[in-house]
Structure 1
Amino acid sequence: MDGAVVSPMPEAPLARINFEKTPPESPNNYDGLPPLAEKRYDDENDRVWNCGAWFEYILVVVLSSLLLIAASILTIFWIIYYRKGFNMQDPKLQFNLHPVLMVGGYITLSGFSILLYRICRCCSHLIVKLCHTFFHACSIPCIVIGCLIVWDSHNQTQVPHFYSLHSWLGCITMGLFVLQFMLGFFSFLILLCCENATYKFRSTMVPIHASFGVVTFMLAVATAVTGLTEKAIFELGDSYTQTIEEGLVINSIGVILTGLGIIIPFAVRRSNSPANYKVYVTERI
């Protein structure tokens, strides 16, 4: 009996069968629903910002808003004070509506639409989307009327169409703007009626829509700057090289637009949260 070897107890077959029949549950997948997001932009409101984050946020929002408003106001001032305002009966004065409407639509309204993802931190996601769409929708009449006006003005003054870099960039910008609006309206508003089924598609389209939105705004800035340069050379001629007052105003508009081309992409792609919690504003789309 002392030298006998005691064999271990055999494994219970019932326990093994029950273990094999019960696979581990996935914590992030219930009834076929999409995986739960780890963090969203809305959750950032629960975190405490430091002084530097608040300073950066206020600086970006205030400076962007002032530059967006200043771009339209200074353009209207330039047209009224130096270019004799608007008159639909005179082709040259009719053309003056073109820069005002294009800067107002492509720059100011579209810029505020993009900036909403930085400003509206306490609103619900759906409200921000609707405001974003509303501002872009308001810019559409400005862009369409501005294009029709310049087309009619060129026809009356026998100026050829689509020969300059400004017009080429304008066509590219308009094409991207139309695609962006249709994609955003369909993907992030219409498809919300079946949110779970379209979750993967919308999550895939987020970086595409966000990146091309910034690209479209940058192209709008480039188009406006080339248009201002073209107008200054045609209207002012050799006096433009003499640093006259109107030339300074035109250059100031161009500098404001360039500043917007820097600060708006920074505003929407820069995280303003503490260093241990990074999330881009465009993830809210």
Structure 2
Amino acid sequence: MDSNSVSPMPELAPIAEFDKTPPTPPEDTLPMDDLPPPPTTVNMHDEKEKDVKDKEKEKEEERKKEKEKEAHRRYEDENQWGCGSWLEYTLVIVLASILLLGSLALTLFWIIKYHDGFSWRENPKKQFNLHPVLMVAGFITFSGFSILLYRICRCCRRIYVKLLHTVFHALAIPCVAVGFVAVLDSHNLNEPAAIPNFYSLHSWIGFVTMGLFAIQFVVGFFSFLVLLCCEGATAGFRASLVPIHASFGLTTFMLAIAAAVTGLTEKAIFSLGDEYSDWKEQGIVINALGMVFVAIGILVSFAVRSPTLNTDTKVLVTERL
């Protein structure tokens, strides 16, 4: 073979046709629903504001806790009672309670022993006997305890004390009403002639006492119980009524004491006449009952006005219970 000859090119393999089928996805590809959400952009300014607000809220809560602790410590320091305070409280409250119950018991003893008990319109004289007993029960015993409740119930919530205060006054209403009807009937049905009404000092004082009692009950019921349904809107109004209500309540109670004492004197003069000055047994009982009423007036007034027995500064404890 000639060395200068060129060898022919090898025949190329035929070009394969382009595969137009799409490639199959890999088996481990996750669906779009299972993918995590894209990262959100964080505003550094909002983050700082949020941190500042959280810190301020924490500081505010800490300040509130400190104020409550300081107020509680101040309350304990200012209102911690010693032996003298407890002795004063025990003597006044216990003695006043005994006298309030004792006045009603002594009135019952006086009427039953010396005036033959009770009756209704068939015997006007015995019907009159209902008057002193029911008036003492309503105006003095029930009303006295309703006033002392604010000193006796020291560890109760104010709303419970108010409810009990209202209950005792509500118990006094039927006593006063029946006692008033009894004295009117006994005067009008008296034989042989009717006895005039509302001519004595006792009747005038009693009439004023009943009027003040009715006004006090209505105003107190609507102001301190009904208006609690909108407590926030009426708080200032109710707070301004508290000293007025307390002052007129004590005034009404003192007028009831005065009416009872003048009524006893009037009954002693009518029943005993000239024998009243002879130290009769009934006269001594009447005078003793009158002195019990005077002692009740002194003790109840002292319990209400004494700064030691005052519970207005103890709202922090009563509101938490």
TM-score (ref. length: structure 1): 0.80
* Number of residue pairs aligned between Structure 1 and Structure 2: 241
Q: Distance in 1 between matches of 2:137 and 2:285?
A: 17
Q: In the alignment, what sits opposite 2:63?
A: none
SS of the equivalent of 1:107 reads helix
Q: In the alignment, what sits opposite 1:272?
A: 308
Q: In the alignment, what sits opposite 2:133?
A: 100
2:107 is equivalent to residue 71 of structure 1: no
Letter in 2 for 1:216: T
Q: Quote the offset at 1:47 in angstroms.
A: 4.2
Q: Quote the offset at 1:189 in angstroms.
A: 0.5
SS of the equivalent of 1:238 reads helix
Q: Deviations over 1:122-158 (max 9, x none)?
A: 1111100000000000000000000001011110010
1:161-240 superposed matches below 5 A: 161-240=197-276
Q: Deviations over 1:69-109 (max 9, x none)?
A: 01000000000001111122211011001000000100000
Letter in 2 for 1:197: A
SS of the equivalent of 1:163 reads coil
Q: Distance in 2 between matches of 1:98 and 1:159?
A: 15
1:246-285 superposed matches below 5 A: 246-272=282-308, 280=312
Q: Distance in 1 between matches of 2:77 and 2:97?
A: 22
77, 96, 110: which one pairs with 2:143? Answer: 110
Gaps of 5+ in 1: 1-38
Q: Distance in 1 between matches of 2:289 and 2:314?
A: 28
- Displaced runs of 4 or more, over 4 A: 43-47, 278-284
Q: Distance in 1 between matches of 2:302 and 2:177?
A: 28
Q: Distance in 2 between matches of 1:177 and 1:240?
A: 33
2:162 is equivalent to residue 129 of structure 1: yes
Q: Distance in 2 between matches of 1:282 and 1:178?
A: 30
Gaps of 5+ in 2: 1-70
Aligned partners of 2:142 and 2:169 also within 8 Å? yes
Identity %: 59
Q: Distance in 2 between matches of 1:102 and 1:191?
A: 30
2:182 is equivalent to residue 149 of structure 1: yes
Q: Distance in 1 between matches of 2:198 and 2:103?
A: 25
278, 281, 290: which one pairs with 1:245? Answer: 281
Q: In the alignment, what sits opposite 1:30?
A: none
Q: Distance in 2 between matches of 1:182 and 1:144?
A: 16
Q: Deviations over 1:5-30 (max 9, x none)?
A: xxxxxxxxxxxxxxxxxxxxxxxxxx
Aligned partners of 2:96 and 2:300 also within 8 Å? yes
Aligned partners of 1:268 and 1:281 also within 8 Å? no
* More deviation, 215-224/189-198: 189-198
Aligned partners of 1:85 and 1:96 also within 8 Å? yes
Q: Deviations over 1:149-182 (max 9, x none)?
A: 1011110010001000010001100000000001
Aligned partners of 1:269 and 1:280 also within 8 Å? no
Aligned partners of 1:98 and 1:149 also within 8 Å? yes
SS of the equivalent of 2:232 reads coil
SS of the equivalent of 1:197 reads helix
Question: Greater RCO between the two (CA within 8 Å, min separation 6)?
Answer: 1
Aligned partners of 2:150 and 2:311 also within 8 Å? no
Q: Quote the offset at 1:280 in angstroms.
A: 4.8
Q: Distance in 1 between matches of 2:92 and 2:177?
A: 30
> What RMSD, in angstroms, separates the aligned Cα atoms of the two structures?
2.2
1:55-70 superposed matches below 5 A: 55-70=87-102
Q: Distance in 2 between matches of 1:196 and 1:190?
A: 13
Q: Distance in 2 between matches of 1:164 and 1:223?
A: 11
SS of the equivalent of 1:196 reads helix
TM-score (ref. length: structure 2): 0.72
Q: Distance in 2 between matches of 1:135 and 1:96?
A: 23
Letter in 2 for 1:235: S
Aligned partners of 1:269 and 1:281 also within 8 Å? no
